[in-house]
Chains A and B, each alone.
Chain A
Amino acid sequence: MKDRIALLGQPNSGKSTVYNALTGSRQHVGNWPGKTVEKNDGFYTYKGKRYTVTDLPGSYGLSGNSDEEIITADFIKTGQADLVCILVDASQLERSMYMVAEFAAMSKPAILLLNMMDVARSQKKEIDHVLLAERLGIPVLPFTAAESSGYEALKELLARELESPHSLRSVPKLPKEAGSAAETVHAESEAKYLWVRDMLAGVTGDRQAHFELSRRDRRLLSPVLGKFLCFGTIVVGFLAAMIICLPLMGAGSMIPQLLNKPIFNLLTSWNVHPWLVSIFSIILPNTLYFCVAMSGFVFGVNLVFGYLEEIGFLARAAYQFDSLLSGLGLQGKAICPILMGFGCTIGGTCGTRVMDNWGQRMLTMAVVWAVPCASIWTIIPVISSMFFTPLQTMLVIVGILLYVVVLMTVVSKVFGRTLVPENARSGMIMELPPYHKPHWKHIAKEALLKAWDIFRRALRTVTLISLLFWVFSYSGSGNVADSLLYKVGTAIEPVTRIFGLGWRTFMGFLSSAFAKQAVLGVLNVVFVGDGTVLDATFRSAFSVATDNAVLGNAMTEAVSKAEALAFMCACTFNIPCVMALSTTYRESHSLKWTVRIAAFYVCGALVLSCIVYHIAALVL
């Protein structure tokens, strides 16, 4: 039975939109064997029959310029698809038909989707799709991927073509080898464009004679003003994402508040062991809260940045920041996740979905981790002001910001070599798509899908790590000294001293890997002896504010200035938080790389803390 469909198209052809609309949540993400390229498989049922869909990696051609192109070409050549659905941008038909010319040599069954018909129509471009179908010998369907109305016809066509497939009638006449490899490639491309021109003769009207940038683009693409506008838009977009997710996060924070007491009372009345009581009344409701908060964030970010991507803004931002970021081995598009990282690492991490390929994406995630999130800016000034004057605190903050740049460079050097190998680094050659009217329904649907996906998957990871932390911080008596954390912490204190961390600040350091906002609470527990580490860590979101004056007194008595400085550095550049860790794993689908990067950050933070401590001890 023939039921395997593959989607083929250039970047911005709307391929993933069609893929998501066809398969919904029935998707599987993996990696192509031996390659760091994401493999997307899904299925749908139509009239009782099941069809599998493979979303082939987006590329401009099939000539083997990248892993993406090699995989795609192999997949089609070896007949792993029964039908190839080629997507082209109807508003830029001549250029995007090049993909059809590349595909032609493989003589496999295909249909052609003229996507973005809405844009083509708004540009008053007429396309005679009947004539085109006649010339090509395969069905041609005018389509708008972001509108749900066309999918019934698409599914019907796919089913029919799988039964009685058609292959291209006409193929480009390729010239014989013309000297060097470069010359051959060039002669072949020219032949392909000539073929495209023949196919389109009389199909499309005359080409627009003169192009003018729109007023919006004149501003957005100017070298100085444009950078400010892009920067501002991303910041506003991030704030909008926050506003969207706040109600969800608020609702999430109600979960532990509502569940904690009743579960505690119920289980205690059943004489359940206090261990289990604390797991069920504290850990699980909070895990649920973390996951709701996370998926709320993912929803907000995907909604706003899905919108910015669809209208073509992200391509403009990429153009503006490409020169700056190419020094880090990153694409210009990485500017969005990096700036979002200042708000929240989770947001930045899932913002990396705009990157073109997996390697770029993973590298961007690693770089985003170096950006201190908003929570850090709520703890560093507090701790710093306990030890330093306001002016010195300013210097601490400037120092941290400078180190961010250093760390980003180091991270991109360390991981970039493998993730984005030198020979795969090519400068930006990309199209800036025309302004598209946003399809809100479609954007919201994709954002919801993404949020639900993260929620489902993160629940496991976060529960696991929470339980791990719980094992370490649980103390039956409520006294810190009875917890495993204390025992381990004091036992290895001679070692942590090298890094400038006593057992108490080391506990603070460990908690900063769990959640940055937990740091003050945990410090309060270990220095003032107020409350339990468990409460401080898991209930930091709504626990009574710690009395910073009391904590300050207790800390300054026990900790030197050099140690404080080392501690702040260690916390800031540690793993961002357990939720960021989990999001990175979920978004990258690579445990290996997530662990690698996490280990790098923990070690990096300790080394930095060590250096800062020993230098500061000499000076201060």
Chain B
Amino acid sequence: MKLTDMRPEQEGRVRKLEGDAHFISRITSIGITEGTEFQTIRNDRKMPVLVYLRETLIAVNRPDAERIEVEAV
């Protein structure tokens, strides 16, 4: 499933990042790589998704969040 499908408080792991090198570089430099475990904090309609990973609260805009394949753990 996609990051945008996660429920708040649900924990997950990044499975795959879909996008060009530019996108991958941008998203990995802030700490999101394949295999990274995270905790979903908020996922509200029309708002960026809030996740907590690598000790950081990160907001990911929805179009980009849809390119992040995740699995619940």
Residues of A within 8 A of B62 (CB): 323, 427
CB pair A95 B54 closer than 8 Å:
yes
- Tell me if A431 counts as interface (CB < 8 A to partner B): yes
CB pair A95 B31 closer than 8 Å:
yes
- Tell me if B64 counts as interface (CB < 8 A to partner A): yes
- Tell me if B28 counts as interface (CB < 8 A to partner A): yes
Per-residue contact bits, chain A 185-197, to B (CB 8 Å; 1 contact, 0 not): 1100110010000
- Tell me if B72 counts as interface (CB < 8 A to partner A): no
Within 8 A of B (CB), among A212-255: 213, 221-223
Closest chain-B Cβ to A59's Cβ sits at a distance in Å of 8
Interface centre among B31, B33, B42, B55 (most CB of A within 10 A): B55
CB pair B61 A207 closer than 8 Å:
no
- Tell me if A428 counts as interface (CB < 8 A to partner B): yes
**A431 vs B50: C-alpha distance in the bound complex, in angstroms?**
9
**A63 vs B27: C-alpha distance in the bound complex, in angstroms?**
12
Within 8 A of A (CB), among B12-35: 17, 19-31, 33-35
CB pair A95 B20 closer than 8 Å:
no
CB pair A323 B24 closer than 8 Å:
no
Closest chain-A Cβ to B47's Cβ sits at a distance in Å of 6
CB pair B25 A208 closer than 8 Å:
no
Residues of A within 8 A of B54 (CB): 92, 94-95
- Which of B30, B41, B50, B64 is close to A427, meaning CB atoms less than 8 Å apart? B64
- Tell me if A572 counts as interface (CB < 8 A to partner B): no
Interface centre among B28, B29, B41 (most CB of A within 10 A): B29
Return the chain B residue nearest A60 by Cβ: B29
CB pair B55 A208 closer than 8 Å:
yes
- Tell me if A93 counts as interface (CB < 8 A to partner B): yes
CB pair B59 A429 closer than 8 Å:
yes
- Which of A182, A322, A323, A431 is close to B56, meaning CB atoms less than 8 Å apart? A431
CB pair B61 A428 closer than 8 Å:
yes
Closest chain-B Cβ to A366's Cβ sits at a distance in Å of 23
**A64 vs B41: C-alpha distance in the bound complex, in angstroms?**
30
**A185 vs B28: C-alpha distance in the bound complex, in angstroms?**
9
Number of interface residues of B (CB under 8 A): 39
Beyond contacts A65-B25, A323-B62: 4 other A-B pairs, Cβ-Cβ < 8 A, are: A182-B20, A185-B25, A186-B24, A210-B39
CB pair B25 A95 closer than 8 Å:
no
Return the chain B residue nearest A315 by Cβ: B59
Contacts A/B (CB < 8 Å), 6 sampled: A184-B21, A190-B35, A322-B48, A323-B47, A428-B48, A430-B59
- Tell me if A434 counts as interface (CB < 8 A to partner B): yes
Binding site for B on A (CB under 8 A): 59-61, 63-65, 91-95, 98, 102, 180-182, 184-186, 189-190, 193, 207-208, 210-211, 213, 221-223, 319-320, 322-323, 326, 426-434
Within 8 A of A (CB), among B43-73: 44-48, 50, 52-64
Residues of B within 8 A of A322 (CB): 48, 59, 61
**A181 vs B48: C-alpha distance in the bound complex, in angstroms?**
27
- Which of B33, B46, B47 is close to A190, meaning CB atoms less than 8 Å apart? B33
CB pair A326 B61 closer than 8 Å:
yes
Residues of B within 8 A of A223 (CB): 44-47
- Which of A181, A326, A430 is close to B21, meaning CB atoms less than 8 Å apart? A181
- Which of B34, B42, B44, B63 is close to A186, meaning CB atoms less than 8 Å apart? B34
CB pair A63 B25 closer than 8 Å:
yes
CB pair A193 B25 closer than 8 Å:
no
**A65 vs B18: C-alpha distance in the bound complex, in angstroms?**
17
**A189 vs B42: C-alpha distance in the bound complex, in angstroms?**
26
CB pair B58 A98 closer than 8 Å:
no
**A320 vs B47: C-alpha distance in the bound complex, in angstroms?**
7
Closest chain-B Cβ to A334's Cβ sits at a distance in Å of 15
CB pair A431 B58 closer than 8 Å:
yes
- Which of B21, B52, B61 is close to A182, meaning CB atoms less than 8 Å apart? B21
CB pair B26 A426 closer than 8 Å:
yes
Interface centre among A95, A322, A323 (most CB of B within 10 A): A95
CB pair B34 A95 closer than 8 Å:
no
- Which of B23, B27, B30, B45 is close to A431, meaning CB atoms less than 8 Å apart? B30
Return the chain B residue nearest A204 by Cβ: B55
Across the A-B interface, give the 3 residue pairs with the lowest CB-CB distance, nearest first.
Answer: A427-B61, A61-B29, A189-B28
Residues of A within 8 A of B46 (CB): 223, 323
- Which of B33, B47, B56 is close to A92, meaning CB atoms less than 8 Å apart? B56
Residues of B within 8 A of A102 (CB): 29
CB pair A60 B56 closer than 8 Å:
no
Closest chain-B Cβ to A188's Cβ sits at a distance in Å of 8
Closest chain-B Cβ to A531's Cβ sits at a distance in Å of 54
Given contacts A211-B57, A213-B41, A429-B61, contact A186 B28 (CB under 8 A): yes
Interface centre among B24, B34, B46 (most CB of A within 10 A): B24
Return the chain B residue nearest A184 by Cβ: B21
Residues of A within 8 A of B21 (CB): 180-182, 184-185
- Which of B41, B45, B55, B60 is close to A429, meaning CB atoms less than 8 Å apart? B60
**A428 vs B42: C-alpha distance in the bound complex, in angstroms?**
15
Closest chain-A Cβ to B64's Cβ sits at a distance in Å of 5
**A98 vs B56: C-alpha distance in the bound complex, in angstroms?**
13
CB pair A63 B29 closer than 8 Å:
yes
**A434 vs B29: C-alpha distance in the bound complex, in angstroms?**
19
Return the chain B residue nearest A94 by Cβ: B54
Closest chain-B Cβ to A14's Cβ sits at a distance in Å of 15
Residues of B within 8 A of A221 (CB): 42, 50
Closest chain-B Cβ to A135's Cβ sits at a distance in Å of 19
Residues of A within 8 A of B55 (CB): 91-95, 207-208
Closest chain-A Cβ to B43's Cβ sits at a distance in Å of 11
Return the chain B residue nearest A208 by Cβ: B55
Given contacts A92-B54, A221-B50, contact A429 B64 (CB under 8 A): yes
Closest chain-B Cβ to A440's Cβ sits at a distance in Å of 25
Residues of B within 8 A of A98 (CB): 29, 31
